[in-house]
Chains A and B, each alone.
Chain A
Amino acid sequence: MAQSVAATSTAKPERAKPAELVQLIVFRLGDEDYGIRIEQVKEVTVTPEVARMPKTPPFIKGIANLRGDIIAIIDLEERFRLRPAGRELPERSYTVAVEAADYTLGLVVREVPRPFTLPLSQIEPAPEFVQDSSTRDKYLEGIAKLPEGGIIIVLDMRKLLTPSEVMKLPTKTTSS
């Protein structure tokens, strides 16, 4: 629809409608690729020393000192239950500091995250079949299909970072 408007109303259609690009920071959780829009990312760093914080759900790894800010470090693999059995976080992991309206949160990932640019049109709303898989669907902005195959699941941090969501305790497990 938009294309037809552009073609009829302006003399320079090629300038009026450039493909809108999205820059993502992409990282692996389990065996899947996840991305966050770069404007929601504050910095990427080697995970600083994390102090375990009692009385928090297991996916909260603890708190860390990031340039004077004390931030919570969150393990999304654990949160989304994507951790393959027997594959614990490596000694040296990386933290993506993402910014919400009034605080910062660290997401711990196992490999160096990489930037990735793609046209916005490649991101499609999440299909129905993932909607019931886990809590993760609530945070999805969409799924990007790459031309060379493979997909990137794009997370919307603003939905992920509400305090009630972060603190929501997983349903009681049988042990402990």
Chain B
Amino acid sequence: MKTRDQEYREMFMAEALEYYDSMSRHLSELERNTDAGPALNELFRLMHNLKANARAMGFTDLGEVAHHLETLFGLIRDKQREFGGALAKVVFTGVDVMGTMIRAIGASQPLPDATALLDNLDRLVRGEAPIIDAEEEAESEEEAGKKMELSDLVYIQVKKLDNLLNLVGELVIDRDRVMTLAQELGNPALLATAQHLFRISDDLQYSVMDARLVGVGVLLNKFPRVVRDVATAENKEVELILSGQDVQIDRNILQIITDALLHLVRNAVSHGLETPEQRQKAGKPAVGHLTLSALTDREDVLIQVRDDGRGINTEAVRKKAVERGLVSAAEAPKLDEQQVWALLFEPGFSMAEKITDISGRGVGLDVVKLALDSLGGQLRVESELGVGTTFTLVLPTSIAVKGALLVEVEDRPYAVPLMHTDTVLALHPGQLSVVGGLLVTHFQEQAVPLVPLRQLLYDEGDEPLPLATKDNLHGTQQVLVVNYNNRRLGLIVDRFIRQQNIVIKPLSKPLDTIDLFGGVTLLGSGQVCLVLDVPALTRLFLAKRA
């Protein structure tokens, strides 16, 4: 495996060479038509980007040349210099030198000396005539015969990668079926081939998924500006700390959570962090700290937004939730901290006292939950009053394959994504009690309501669930505890089948309107298995709770 450094270097190289090519092209155009404004602007931009990239990678010499050329193009753009004559000659030499430098970087060779060029560029900037020696001129004649190179990187549309990923998904399903068939038939040659196919398609799947990964930094690096703008608008002082930009994640997942992250960050600055005066009064440093970090946790990627602000005022949220009708006044006091915080992400909930430009329009945090639901992700909230709040987005690395637990209800298999499962329990009737018509068990010092999955799936109509009794519970109950939005729910199933990786296919029309199912997957046997959508299942349970 290549190291990150190597990969960055290659990306820098590819980009720099591309810049170099466009520069040469734009220079030629500028030579033909000195008034070519777009070409001039483009040259200025390319120089600027190359300068920034080169400096970031530590290639200061290259950065210097680009910087000098950028200055010169700035002058040309401002009509203080004219492109042509000796100036054009020096500029062409300059771009060629940069090309040589970029190639030297690629070959890990020392960079050529550019002092003479830099001096000449300085002279031009000062308005003096450059010194061009004959030897150098002769050398540049040879340049006409120089090699042509193609970049080592290709740009590819995400759509094409999506297509590739779908095809691999299909392949994996068929592979599993071939494997199952081979095992049933017991032909050794077939079995060996099937195993080989298995390995190859595994590698292929991994490669396709790998090709879609990008650094989280692609997104995180956009935030310094956002934070600055929000902080200015809200009169706050904020220091933003980024970390984990190298953590790899599927590009489409990053795309889907962009808005969610934007909302969380804006929310942290405008609601989380206090004004400098308030902070000082509370004995905190005037400058608030906001940390945006990404880290990997086994199969998942965690993106955290942490502030050291005022923390969530649980009681205020509780009160607001009652005002907004999200919970009844009777129900509200029974909710614990986590359950109250979960209300922040209900549609239409907003804690802002005043309406500002940045936040508090009553839209916001519910987008976070929608985005996470669509990915099968999770949201964790930690907060301490006066100390700060941390929102953690738990995301899958890749969308294609998900770990799932297969359970059986009435002889049919159902898949539950592992992302939403907490634990499995085998409970004997003594461990169950009936509270207010609901079956409840105690798990990790928390009362977890239980419901037979059969009732949620097969009971028709909108009637509430029948009152639970322990009479028709016989023997040990198999319970799958799922977790959504900090709410636990125990699903009683007939049995657990196994855990396995599944490729989820979306339901096609006209059945895609049933939100209880996140899709279907084909098992190795070719059997169709519905994938349960835990958020929708939890909502259904809450709606039908007597």
Contacts and interface: CB of A to CB of B under 8 A. Distances in A.
Given A51-B529, A65-B526, A72 B412 contact: no
A154 to B, nearest CB: 22
A56, A70, A72, A166 pick with most chain B CB within 10 angstroms: A70
B527 interface: yes
A55 B510 contact: no
A166 B514 CA distance: 13
A55 B516 contact: yes
B516 A72 contact: no
Contact of A56 (B170, B412, B511, B520): B511
B186 interface: no
B460 A176 contact: yes
Interface string B504-515: 010111110110
A65 B522 contact: yes
B148 to A, nearest CB: 45
B155 interface: no
A65 B176 CA distance: 15
A172 B526 CA distance: 35
A54 B516 CA distance: 9
Interface string B445-482: 00000000000011011000000000000000000000
Nearest to B511: A72
B527 A71 contact: no
Contact of B457 (A51, A54, A65): A54
A69 interface: yes
Main secondary structure of the interface of B (DSSP, over half): mixed
Interface residues of A, number: 27
A103 B514 contact: no
Q: Interface residues of B toward A: which range?
A: 20 to 34
B322 interface: no
A16 interface: no
B529 A55 contact: no
A27 to B, nearest CB: 21
B528 A65 contact: yes
A46 interface: no
A53 interface: yes
B514 A70 contact: no
Contacts of A155: none
B505 A53 contact: no
Contacts of B528: 49, 51, 63-65, 70
B372 interface: no
Contacts of B412: 51-52
Contacts of A105: 510
A72 B522 contact: no
Nearest to A65: B528
A150 interface: no
Given A70-B505, A71-B508, A167-B513, A53 B530 contact: yes
A68 interface: yes
A69 B508 contact: yes
A68 B170 contact: yes
A163 interface: yes
B461 A163 contact: no
B464 to A, nearest CB: 14
Contacts of A55: 457, 514, 516
Contacts of A71: 508
Contacts of A103: 508-510
Interface in A64-106: 64-65, 68-72, 100, 102-105
Nearest to A172: B461
Interface in A22-79: 49, 51-56, 60, 63-65, 68-72
Given A70-B528, A176-B460, A176-B461, A53 B522 contact: no
B439 to A, nearest CB: 20
B514 A53 contact: yes
Nearest to B459: A176
Contacts of B173: 68
A54, A63, A166 pick with most chain B CB within 10 angstroms: A54
B170 A163 contact: no
A72 B508 CA distance: 8
A158 to B, nearest CB: 14
B505 A163 contact: no
A55 to B, nearest CB: 5
A115 B367 CA distance: 53
A72 B510 CA distance: 8
B514 A56 contact: yes
A63 B510 contact: no
B513 A54 contact: no
B522 A102 contact: no
- Nearest 5 pairs between A and B by C-beta? A163-B510, A54-B457, A51-B528, A103-B509, A166-B510
13 contacts: A49-B526, A49-B528, A54-B457, A55-B514, A56-B514, A63-B507, A69-B508, A70-B507, A70-B508, A103-B509, A103-B510, A163-B513, A176-B460
Given A65-B522, A71-B508, A163-B510, 9 more contacts: A49-B526, A49-B527, A53-B511, A55-B457, A63-B507, A68-B522, A70-B508, A172-B461, A176-B461
